[in-house]
Amino acid sequence: MNITRRNLLATSAAGIVVASLPAGASVAFAQKANDTITFAVAARSSNSLNPQEVGLSGADNWAVYQIFDRLVNLPAGQWAKEPQDYLPGLAESWTVSEDARTWTYKLRKGVKFHKEYGELTSDDVVFSFRRHIDPKTVTNSKTFYTNIDSVEAPDAATVVFMLKSPDPLFNTSCHSHVSASILCKKAFEEKGADFSKDPIGSGAYQFESLDSSQGMLLTAFPQYFDGPANTEKVRIRYISDTTARTLAFASGDIDMIEGVRSPGWMDTMRGQSSETIFDATAPGSLNSLAINLTRGPLKDVRVRKAIRYAIDATAIAGAFGGIAAPMIGVVASQFPGAVRAEDLPEDLRYAYDPEKATALLAEAGFAGGLTIPCYVSQREDYASIMLMIQEQLRAVNINLDLKMIDHATFHSDNRLDKNTLALWSSSYSPVPTQIISDQLARSFEVKSDGTGGTNFAHYGTAIPGIDDMLNTTLAEPDFDKRMALVQGMEKQILADLPLLGIVTLSYVVARNPRVDIGFKVESGPAYWPLRHAKIVQA
């Protein structure tokens, strides 16, 4: 493993600085103006504010989520786990055909776009989604829209989506994502490329200004269809450095900061002030370990089982101080279709058992141990988890010859089929077929020339069968029956072990108690609405 002097010093410095705060400073909840909430995100700057633009960062999603609306809304602070959990957004109602292939949305009347750009009509919705389904237009997250065959507007207040295959979770698989935000067609065509820096949406906040020094200023949109936001202004500051962000929060300059998803950060922050509030989503990201089924000893299921038994996911989750949870299958336990340990046969539960791991290795002919070369991203969440896995596997005589490389190289090398054990942090809405499709289906199999996808395990080819199960599941229009089929796939995956669910890791925001966001964050995407937020302490 390559640990550079600079990395070591930087990590130590951040730790020492944060740890030294109690002696020098407690978190200052300073007197401030009541009309502005300041939120520091972990980014150097904004890449774009066009929800469909490629390169949109997690930090940009926060702003975009406030500026734009979607057809349907999630319950505040939660995922909609079942179809009936969705709330009206720009659509006041919707219906779905029996075969779950035709979804019809009735738009809310009188919804205004910002800055006098007129009223929302079905033309805006059709325009937004046709850009996603047009293969010649580059937009982000296109895979969420590949099942849409057509989108039509029979009248100004109705939009009809025709799907290629049934989807009882269409609101989740398509409309819950920030890229499904509805653009203002007139503004988009008028502004062209400038739309990315001066966006027009219909959300509770409108864009005011952006500069590298002061960040972004959003102001409440007085004509918002659901009433103006509680707080007049939201300022988004860009502070990528962990230490700088933490210090800014401690000084009271910033009301909310994006947290750090590495072991110890939460505990240290709690030590600074018991008043600090932490908003954390569960599951957050899914951290899974893809086992390359074409590589040497890993072809043997006994070796893969040994790895599974040797990994103590509960201990890994514990190191993150309450923002992580161990995974059982590959679908997060909070999602529909996930298997529960008590529903599994004993041999598929894989309770931590290093002795059993050692015995399985001996049975597979590796009594003397084995070495597995692999690499991982330097990003703190990846590196932390993989280093813990390395230590746990060392205990059963499996030596991970682990290299740490930069994040962009990590992803590009994975797509060239260079990795053997690929830890991957991915975010999904609660559509359980998505992770199976993206990471285990044959059509997404990775290829050494880079033209393949994200099935780094070669599952479906090295061990056939999952694609038939997946196709059957995706053809099922009934939600409950579909979830039962997902559980069947989960059990098959647990038997074959091409992909190990390790831990889920929450997205965390530390919040000054002077701000009340108006709901409790339990699950949902890595961003949430700020229109209910208000300052409750001067």
Partner 1 sequence: MPSLIASKLLDAIPTLWLVLTLVFVALRILPGDPALVALGDFATPEQLALFREQAGLDAPLWQQYFAFLWDVVTFDFGNSLITKESVAGVIGYNLPFTVALAIGATAIGVIIGVPFGVLAAVRKNKAPDQGMRVFSLVGYAIPDFYLGAVLLIVFALNLKLFPINGGGEGFWGQLYHLALPAITLAVLKIAFLGRLTRTALLEVLSKDYVRTAKAKGAPPKTVIYKHALRNALLPIVTGLGLSLLATLSGAVAVELVFNRPGLGSTLIKAIAERDYTLIQGAVVVFALMVVVVNLLVDVLYTIIDPRLGS
Packing angle of the helix pair 466-474, 479-496 (nearest 10 deg): 170
Quick one: tokens of 132?
């996603």
Distances, alpha carbon 429 to alpha carbons 58, 67, 69, 205, in Å: 15, 21, 17, 24
Sheet strands (E) in 2-50: 36-41
Q: Does 3 bind partner 1 (CB under 8 A)?
A: no
Burial 205-221 (b: 16+ CB within 10 A, else e): bbbeebeeeebbbbbbb
Using the rule CB under 8 A, give the single segment among 10-18, 113-121, 395-403, 482-490 that binds partner 1.
10-18
Using the rule CB under 8 A, give the single segment among 72-80, 112-120, 131-139, 223-231 that binds partner 1.
131-139
Question: 23 exposed, middle or buried (CB, 10 Å; 0-12, 13-18, 19+)?
Answer: exposed
Q: Residue 448: which residues within 8 A CB-CB, separation 6 or more?
A: 416, 417
Task: Count residues binding partner 1 (CB under 8 A).
Answer: 62
C-beta of 59 vs 90, nearer to partner 1:
59
Question: Is there a contact between 209 and 124 (Cβ–Cβ < 8 Å)?
Answer: no
Among positions 173-232, residues that touch partner 1 (CB under 8 A) are 193, 196-197, 212-214
Q: Does 142 bind partner 1 (CB under 8 A)?
A: yes
- Look at residues 17, 520, 13, 18 and name the one whose alpha carbon lies nearest to residue 269: 18
Q: Residue 503: which residues within 8 A CB-CB, separation 6 or more?
A: 287, 313, 316, 317, 320, 324, 325, 326, 327, 385
Question: Is there a contact between 225 and 112 (Cβ–Cβ < 8 Å)?
Answer: yes
C-beta of 146 vs 399, nearer to partner 1:
146
In three-state secondary structure terms, 342 is helix
In three-state secondary structure terms, 529 is coil
Using the rule CB under 8 A, give the single segment among 7-15, 110-118, 491-499, 512-520 that binds partner 1.
7-15
C-beta of 25 vs 484, nearer to partner 1:
25
C-beta of 45 vs 461, nearer to partner 1:
45
C-beta of 84 vs 212, nearer to partner 1:
212
- Distance separating alpha carbons of residues 505 and 512, to the nearest angstrom: 22
Q: Does 411 bind partner 1 (CB under 8 A)?
A: yes
C-beta of 177 vs 304, nearer to partner 1:
177
- Distance separating alpha carbons of residues 328 and 352, to the nearest angstrom: 11
C-beta of 239 vs 313, nearer to partner 1:
239
Q: Does 413 bind partner 1 (CB under 8 A)?
A: yes
Among positions 335-374, residues that touch partner 1 (CB under 8 A) are none
- Distance separating alpha carbons of residues 51 and 188, to the nearest angstrom: 12
Compute the least distance from the CB of residue 436 to partner 1, in Å: 13
From 73, 140, 358, 506, residue interacting with partner 1 (rule: CB under 8 A): 140
- Distance separating alpha carbons of residues 215 and 63, to the nearest angstrom: 11
Q: Does 538 bind partner 1 (CB under 8 A)?
A: no
C-beta of 10 vs 344, nearer to partner 1:
10
What is the number of other CB atoms lying within 10 angstroms of the CB of residue 66?
A: 26
Q: Does 82 bind partner 1 (CB under 8 A)?
A: no
Compute the least distance from the CB of residue 5 to partner 1, in Å: 9
Which residue shows structure tokens 């325009």?
A: 127
From 454, 473, 492, 512, residue interacting with partner 1 (rule: CB under 8 A): 454
Compute the least distance from the CB of residue 453 to partner 1, in Å: 7
From 2, 3, 7, 9, residue interacting with partner 1 (rule: CB under 8 A): 9
Using the rule CB under 8 A, give the single segment among 117-125, 386-394, 445-453, 477-485 that binds partner 1.
445-453
Q: Does 11 bind partner 1 (CB under 8 A)?
A: no
Q: Does 470 bind partner 1 (CB under 8 A)?
A: no
Q: Does 136 bind partner 1 (CB under 8 A)?
A: yes
C-beta of 106 vs 411, nearer to partner 1:
411
Q: Does 143 bind partner 1 (CB under 8 A)?
A: yes
Does 336 sit behind a cis peptide bond, omega within 30 degrees of 0 on the bond before it?
no
Distances, alpha carbon 470 to alpha carbons 363, 467, 478, in Å: 32, 5, 15
Q: What is the DSSP string of 268-298?
A: HHHHH-TT-EEEE-SS-EEEEEEE-TTSGGG
Among positions 221-280, residues that touch partner 1 (CB under 8 A) are 237-241, 243-245, 247-248, 250-251, 253
Q: Which sign, positive or negative, has the C-alpha torsion 418, 494, 504, 426?
A: positive
Q: Does 453 bind partner 1 (CB under 8 A)?
A: yes
Using the rule CB under 8 A, give the single segment among 48-56, 111-119, 325-333, 335-343 that binds partner 1.
48-56
From 22, 55, 118, 296, residue interacting with partner 1 (rule: CB under 8 A): 55
For the chain, the helix, strand and coil percentages under 3-state DSSP, each to the nearest 5 = 35, 20, 45
Compute the least distance from the CB of residue 44 to partner 1, in Å: 5
Q: What is the CA radius of gyration of the chain?
A: 24
Q: Does 33 bind partner 1 (CB under 8 A)?
A: no
Among positions 387-406, residues that touch partner 1 (CB under 8 A) are 405-406
Using the rule CB under 8 A, give the single segment among 80-88, 124-132, 140-148, 383-391 that binds partner 1.
140-148
Residues of this chain that interact with partner 1 (CB under 8 A) are 9-10, 13-14, 16-17, 20-21, 24-25, 28, 44-48, 53-55, 135-136, 138, 140-143, 193, 196-197, 212-214, 237-241, 243-245, 247-248, 250-251, 253, 405-409, 411-413, 415, 424, 426, 438, 450-454
